[in-house]
Structures are given as structure tokens and as C-alpha cells.
Structure 1
Amino acid sequence: MLSKKSEQFLNSVRMELMKRGKKDEDIEAVTEELRDHLTQAEKRGESVDSITGGSPEAYINSISKEMPFDNSFIKTIIGALFAILGFFTIPRLIAGQFDMSVERIIFYGLLVVILLPIEFWLLMTMLKKYDHSKKGYFAPLIIALIGFAIILAGEFYLRANEGASIINLDIHMSLWIGLILLLLFIGFCVMYKSWFYIGVMVYLVLPDLVARLFTDKPADSKEFVNISSSIFLMLSVVALVGAMAFYSRFKKSRR
């Protein structure tokens, strides 16, 4: 078993190389080799400094320069951006409330170009710093909540100050376009085995889809909101129970 300091250093190396877009197999090979070196060093009574020369950042930089950049990393980022755009648009289309103003387009653009990269950077930095400590578990949750709060605040601001719509679809046209895009989205995710994105999309779309199938009322009507909220609550309970079970199993596997 490695010391806590060595494990934290290994995690820092892994996270930093991921952030720099290196291939997963190369990262695993490097970290496994580094683990062996650290294990042997600790048996000799030496510390991480004997491997890094006292400068972990310089050591990581030297490793990174020797490793090729993973071109698929760019494809992953682009795919993630398209997925997020789908999360913003497809649920609104299915709910029948797809109206786009210039302000809303600018807001969504800022979320994709600025907020998401900042959240990704913060997430990688926190995981690298705190590893598997309690702070390491809570950091992603806090970052996600901050991002959600910013999005929610932006939505409320838009509702109060949004200008005239430049795209406005009736309920039935909006639903059919949303369903077509949903099928295309799921098809691409299956093709690239992106099951997580499918799960997120189902979680976002299913409440409004069920509500739309049961009523032709507008998305802000009491009937539509009641059906959608009930389905959303049930899905949230299932997701919470699943997350707790996964966390419990993960903790047992770490013992």
C-alpha cells in the first residue's frame, strides 16, 4: 500500500494528464509505471520527492511533453458541447415552449463557451487537490450546484427581460421536431456508446414527454405542470436511490 502522499501524487498526475488531453491507455501505462517506482521508493524509505526531484509540477510537465496529444479528446469535447445544446433545446421542443430570442441565444452561447469550460477546469483542479477525501466528494457537487444556480438565475432573468422571439413554433410542430431530434440524439449516443448522455436526456425529457402525451395544454398550464412535476419527482427519487447505492458500493470497494 502506498502512502497517502504518494496516492495523492498519482491522482494529481492522472488528472493533469486527462486535462491536457492525453490518451487513456497512455495515462494508465504511465501511472502504473509510476506506482511501481513509488512502491519501490517507499520500500527503501524514500518519499515522492525522490521520484519528482522535489518539483511535482515540473515532473508532470516533463511526462506530458513526452506523451502524444489524443485527437479524440477534441472530438469528445465537441460531442459534449453538442450534447449540452441538445439538453437545452430538445426538452423545450417536446414541452412545446420552444421560443428563441436573441438574448436567450447569447445566454446559451455563454454557457457553452465560458461556464462549462470553467466548471470542467474547477472540477479537475478540485479532484486533483483533494483526491478521495470528503472534500473530493463534495467539490463536484458544489461546482455542479453553482453552475445550476447560474443557469437558474439566467433563466429567471430572461423571463423578466427577454425580448421578442425570433423563432416560435406551435405545440404540435415543436413536439414532432423535438421527437425527431431526440431519436437522432439517442442514435448518435448509441453509436458512440455514450450511455451517460442518454440517461441525462431521458431524465430531462421524460416528464414533459409524458405530460405532452396526456394533455394539449400549454407547458405553463396547471395540468401540464402537475403531470410533469410528478414524473420528475419520481425520476429524482429513483436517481437519488441509485446514487446512494452506487456511493455505498464504492465506499465498500475502497476498504
Structure 2
Amino acid sequence: MQTLSDESRRFLEDLKVYLLASGKNEKATQDIVTELENHLQEAESDGKSVAAITGDSPAAYIQSIATEMTTDYHESFWLLFQILAGVFSFLLFQDLLDGPLSYSLYFLVGFILLISSLLIVLSRCLRYSATHAPSKRPFLLFGLSTGVIFLLLMGLFLTDSQITSPTIHFSWLTSSIIGLIAFLLIGYSAYRAKTWVLPLGLLAYLLPQVVIRYGFDGSPLIAVL
């Protein structure tokens, strides 16, 4: 099978990134990428370039494909939920070490809004990067936006105890059940995504604290951990 040119490979990568960042179904996206890959191989074997398939503007062609595809809201919601659960799990299990769970409505709403905003910014930066010439602009915008959101998260943590808001208190039993559900969800998400980065990262974050608190209190190992 003929090897694609760098220009064609770049186009296919940009297409895939743009479609996935736009909330399109992963399988449908892969099918389109595979079909276009075959067309590009045929075109290049005849001595033609990417323009024979995409026209004068690959970016416009990518956007037109995205417009024709249906947005997979179910998969987008599931992905958003997985990311929120993954990020929140670090806080959740940390709080479980300190006692029964307790969260204010102010904190929960603020946390969800800020993490969702971060994902929206990331999606827009990826789409911009996929349809424009390589530049530092999307990375600078994402870095700046991330910095602002991080500061807002810090402010959320600092002001949580000072803002009057309905607070949800959980018993030890309920807290344990929530922790178990979160653990199973993380395991299922890792299995579905075929990557164990989140479970291993969570383990690396929590295990030293567990060892210090319950296993080797007073041990020289504490200094190392």
C-alpha cells in the first residue's frame, strides 16, 4: 500500500482532531478518516495532491464535513461526565481520608462550571489548531485561559467556607458508597478508554497518604514520601 505524503497525513490528523473536538461520534469519525485515506492514496498514486480531494481550502473542507455530521450528544455528555468525575475523584478520595463527605452547593456548581469551561476552551483551541496554519496562538490562548480558570478554582476553594450556601452532608456509610461508585466508574472509564493513567495517577496521589496515616506512623519512610 502506498505511503501517504506528509501533507495528506497532516490533513487526516487535523480532520480527526476537529471532528472529535466538535463532539462527533468516534466510530463515524474513524470511518470517514479511513475512507478519505483511501481516496488520498488513490489520488497520490495518480500524481495528484490533497487539493484534488479537499479543494483549495482543506480547512473549509474539514468544516463542511463537520457540518454534515450529526453531533453525538450522548457520547459528548458521557465524555464530559467522565472527565468531571476523573478530576473530582482526586478531591473526593482526599476528602474520604479526612472524614465523611460534605460539599456546599456553591462549591459543586462552581467546580462543574469551571472544569466545563476549561474543556470548552480546549475544544475551541483544538478546532482552531486543526483548521489554521501551525502557530503558537492556540497554545497561548489555552495557557492564558487555563491560568485564569486555575485562579478561579483557587478562589473557589478559598471562599467556599466564607460563602453561605446550602451544604450536603453525607454519613460515613453514604460516603463509602459514593467512594465505591467513583472507584468503579474510574475503573470502567479506564477500561473503555484503554488507558490506566487516571487510576495509576490517583493511586500515586493517595497511597503515600494512606501509608503515612495508617501504616508507618513515625517511620523514616515519612520523610521520603
Same fold (TM over 0.5): yes
Residue 155 of structure 1 corresponds to 154
- Match for 1:62 among 52, 61, 64? 64
Alpha-carbon deviations, 1:150-195, whole Å to 9, x = none? 53784378548952787698xxx77x76654332212223345254
How much is the aligned-residue C-alpha RMSD, in angstroms?
4.2
On the 8 A contact 1:189/1:198 being kept in 2, the answer is yes
Q: Percent identity?
A: 25
1:75 paired with 2:72, answer no
On the 8 A contact 2:121/2:142 being kept in 1, the answer is no
Residue 181 of structure 1 corresponds to 178
- Deviating more after overlay: 19-28 vs 86-95: 86-95
Letter in 1 for 2:23: G
Task: For 1:215 and 1:100, locate their aligned partners in 2 and report how far apart those are by CA, in whole Å.
Answer: 30
Letter in 2 for 1:163: Q
Letter in 1 for 2:18: E
1:212 paired with 2:213, answer yes
Unaligned runs of 5+ in 1: 217-222, 232-255
Letter in 2 for 1:90: F
On the 8 A contact 1:11/1:128 being kept in 2, the answer is no
Name the SS for the 2:52 alignment partner: helix
Q: How many residues align?
A: 213
Letter in 1 for 2:95: R
Task: For 1:208 and 1:146, locate their aligned partners in 2 and report how far apart those are by CA, in whole Å.
Answer: 32
Task: For 1:102 and 1:34, locate their aligned partners in 2 and report how far apart those are by CA, in whole Å.
Answer: 48
On the 8 A contact 2:105/2:168 being kept in 1, the answer is no
Structure 1 residues 83-162: aligned runs within 5 Å: 83-96=86-99, 104-105=107-108, 107-123=110-126, 125-126=128-129, 147=146, 151=150, 154-155=153-154, 158-159=157-158
- The structure with more helix, counted as a fraction of residues: 1
Q: Identify if the C-alpha distance between structure 1 residues 36 and 151 changes in structure 2 by more than 3 Å, giving closer, same or farther.
A: same
TM-score, normalising length from structure 1?
0.62
Alpha-carbon deviations, 1:94-151, whole Å to 9, x = none? 24597756765565244223223223433564477689xxx8xxx6xx9689847953
Q: Identify if the C-alpha distance between structure 1 residues 99 and 67 changes in structure 2 by more than 3 Å, giving closer, same or farther.
A: closer
Task: For 1:179 and 1:145, locate their aligned partners in 2 and report how far apart those are by CA, in whole Å.
Answer: 38
Task: For 2:156 and 2:26, locate their aligned partners in 1 and report how far apart those are by CA, in whole Å.
Answer: 41
Unaligned runs of 5+ in 2: none
How big is the shift at 1:51? 0.9
- Match for 2:30 among 28, 31, 55? 28
How big is the shift at 1:28? 1.7
On the 8 A contact 1:123/1:143 being kept in 2, the answer is no
Task: For 2:184 and 2:108, locate their aligned partners in 1 and report how far apart those are by CA, in whole Å.
Answer: 26
On the 8 A contact 2:186/2:199 being kept in 1, the answer is yes
How big is the shift at 1:37? 1.5
Residue 198 of structure 1 corresponds to 199
How big is the shift at 1:8? 1.0
Letter in 2 for 1:187: L
